[in-house]
Amino acid sequence: GAVVSQHPSWVICKSGTSVKIECRSLDFQATTMFWYRQFPKQSLMLMATSNEGSKATYEQGVEKDKFLINHASLTLSTLTVTSAHPEDSSFYICSARRQGRDYGYTFGSGTRLTVV
- Does 49 bind other proteins (CB under 8 A)? Our answer is yes
Which of 17, 83, 99, 109 is close enough to bind other proteins by CB under 8 A? 109
One DSSP character per residue, 54-87 reads S--EEPTT--TTTEEEEEEETTEEEEEE-S--GG
Q: What's the closest the beta carbon of residue 57 comes to other proteins, in angstroms?
A: 9
- Dihedral sign for Cα 102, 103, 105, 108, please: positive
Contact between 58 and 79 (Cβ < 8 Å): no
Residue (87 or 102) nearer to other proteins, CB: 102
Which of 19, 67, 95, 115 is close enough to bind other proteins by CB under 8 A? 95
Nearest partner of 95 among 9, 23, 22, judged by Cα: 23
Nearest partner of 26 among 5, 41, 42, judged by Cα: 5
Q: What's the closest the beta carbon of residue 66 comes to other proteins, in angstroms?
A: 21
Which of 28, 34, 35, 67 is close enough to bind other proteins by CB under 8 A? 34
Q: What's the closest the beta carbon of residue 109 comes to other proteins, in angstroms?
A: 5
Binding site for other proteins (CB under 8 A): 32, 34, 38, 42-46, 49, 91, 93, 95, 102-107, 109-110, 112
